[in-house]
Chains A and B, each alone.
Chain A
Amino acid sequence: MRDPALQSRFDELDAARALGDLSPEERVELDGLIERENFESDSDLDWIVASLEVSRGDFSQPLEPGLREKILSDGEESGGRSDPGEVIGLWKHPAIGWAAAAGLVLAFVLSELMVGVPRDTLSDARDSLIQTATSMQLEFAGTDDFSALQGDVVWGDEQQEGYMMLSGLPANDPEVSQYQLWIVDPERDSAPVDGGVFDIQASGGATIVPVAAALKVAQPVAFVITVEKPGGVVVSKQETVAAVAKRAS
C-alpha cells in the first residue's frame, strides 16, 4: 500500500504532464517518482484532456494555403505510413535530453532541428571543426556485438560542438530502441552528460551525427554510445554499451 500523500502528489504531477504544464523541476520530481517508487503515468489523463480539447475548442481555421499539398507530398514520398525521418536517416526521434550530471533540466534537443540537414552540410561543419586548433578527435571502438563499428567523434570545447562519423553500427528500429551518446567529463561531474539520441538506418555507409550535449562540457575524457529505450533515458544503466571513444591518458 502506497503512502496516500505520495500517491496524491504523483497524481497531481501526472495530471500536469497531461495538461502540458509541468515545470522542469516538477518533471524531475515526476521522473523520480516513476523511477524510485514504480509509479506509472496514466494515459487516461491524456485521453480525457484530448477529448475535452477536441469537443470544446473552436477548430474552424482552415489549413494554410499550400500546406495541404505539402502534407500529401510528404505522405507520398514516405510511402504512406513510413516515416520520412527514416528516409532522411538522421535523428528521427528527438532526445529526451537532459543531463544525468545535474538535477538541472535542460533538454537541448538538436536532433529534430537536424532532421533534413543535408549530409554535406554536416560534413562541412565536421571538417571545419577538425581544422580548429582546440578540437579533439577520438576513435570509437565497438564492443563485442558491435565490433564492426568504425568511426570517430570530433569535439570542440570552445565551440561546444561535436560530430560523430559512424559506420558499421547496426540499424535500429526506433520503435524498439535508440542509440544514445554520453559524454564523460569528470571535471564537471561524476555522472555523464547526455549527448543526444540518434538512429542508424539500414542503408549502410557512414552516418554523421551531431552531438547534442545537454549541458556545457568542460574536458571530456570519453564518449560512450549505449542502446536505450526509444527516446533515451535520463540515467543509463549501461546494459548495452555499443562503443567507447576514450581520450589517451
Chain B
Amino acid sequence: MAKATTAEGGDGGILARVARCEKGAMEECVDRYGSLIWSLTSRYVRQRADAEDVVQEIFTELWKSADRYDPGKSSESTFIGLIARRRSIDWLRKHSRQPQLEAIGDNMEQPEAPEAGARFDSDRVEMALRKLPEATRRLFSLHFDQGMTHPEIAAETGMPLGTVKTKLRRGLVLVRELMRESEPNCVVS
C-alpha cells in the first residue's frame, strides 16, 4: 500500500516557516501535505465538492495553527492529520445534525514527556499497539490501514457492530495507558 509522501521522518519544519509568514512557505506546505489532507478528508467526506470545501477549511485552520505545532509532541504530519481528522469529523457531524467536536486550541497544549523524540511518534504508538490482543489489532488494522468504517468492519469480521466499537475504544484507551507506562517519568496529562 502506498504511503504518504509526508510519512514520519519526512517533515521539514514547514509549519514553523508558515508561522513566520515566510515567502513560499504556504505553497511548499500545500505541495507537501496536500495529498495527505486530501486523501484523509476523502475518507470521511465522500462527495468531491464537499471534500474540497473541507480541505480549504483545513488549510485555513492550518495557517492559523501553525505556530502551535510542537515537534516535541508529534511529527508535522501527525499534527496536520489531527487537524484534518477533526475538521472532517466535524463536517460529518454537522451534516448528520450531530454535535461537533470541540475546536482545537488549548486542548493541544499538554505536558510533554521529558525524553527525546516526539511523544506521539508513530513508532511509539505502534509499539504499544503490538501489545494489544491480536483480535483487537486486526480491528485497528482494518480501520486504519484499510480505511474501513465500523459497519464495514462488522460485516468483514462477523462481529456485532457494538463489539467492534467497544473493542476499538477499549483498545485505544489501553494504547494510551501502555504509552504512559513506557514513558520514563510516567507523565499523566
Contact = CB atoms under 8 A, between A and B. Distances in A.
Interface stretch (A39-47, A138-146, A158-166, A180-188): A39-47
Contacts of A58: 1-4, 39, 147
Contact of A74 (B56, B67, B86, B99): B56
Interface in B118-162: 119-122, 125-126, 129, 140-141, 144-145, 147, 150
A145 B99 CA distance: 31
Interface string B168-183: 1110110110010000
A51 interface: yes
B186 interface: no
B45 interface: no
B149 to A, nearest CB: 9
A41 B129 CA distance: 21
Nearest to B161: A21
Given A27-B99, A50-B82, A94-B100, A63 B64 contact: no
Interface in B40-62: 40, 42-44, 48, 52, 55-56, 59-60
Interface stretch (A65-73, A120-128, A218-226, A241-249): A65-73
Contacts of B97: 106-108
B98 A105 contact: yes
Contacts of A167: none
B47 to A, nearest CB: 12
A97 B19 CA distance: 31
Interface stretch (A11-19, A149-157, A198-206): A11-19
B51 to A, nearest CB: 8
A63 B5 CA distance: 13
Nearest to B38: A63
Given A20-B89, A52-B144, A54-B77, A109 B100 contact: yes
A175 interface: yes
Contact of B120 (A11, A42, A47): A47
Given A57-B145, A72-B30, A175-B105, A62 B60 contact: no
Contacts of A17: 101
B102 interface: yes
Nearest to B176: A44
B145 A67 contact: no
A157 to B, nearest CB: 21
B107 A60 contact: no
B122 to A, nearest CB: 4
Given A52-B144, A54-B122, A67-B38, A84 B60 contact: yes
B166 A231 contact: no
Given A46-B82, A47-B74, A81-B66, A107 B170 contact: no
Contacts of A43: 107-108, 110, 189
Q: Which of A27, A46, A59: most chain B CB closer than 10 A?
A: A59
Given A21-B165, A98-B99, A51 B122 contact: yes
The 4 closest A-B pairs by CB, nearest first: A59-B4, A55-B122, A54-B81, A50-B82
8 contacts: A11-B173, A12-B169, A54-B4, A59-B5, A63-B34, A63-B35, A67-B56, A105-B99
Interface of B: 1-8, 18-19, 21, 26-27, 30-31, 34-36, 38-40, 42-44, 48, 52, 55-56, 59-60, 63-64, 66-67, 73-75, 77-82, 85-86, 89-90, 92-94, 97-103, 105, 107-108, 110, 119-122, 125-126, 129, 140-141, 144-145, 147, 150, 165-166, 168-170, 172-173, 175-176, 179, 189
Interface of A: 11-12, 14-22, 24, 27, 41-64, 67-68, 70-72, 74-76, 78, 80-85, 93-94, 96-98, 105-109, 112, 175, 230-231
Given A54-B122, A59-B35, 11 more contacts: A43-B110, A45-B173, A48-B175, A48-B176, A52-B144, A55-B7, A56-B145, A63-B30, A63-B38, A67-B34, A75-B63
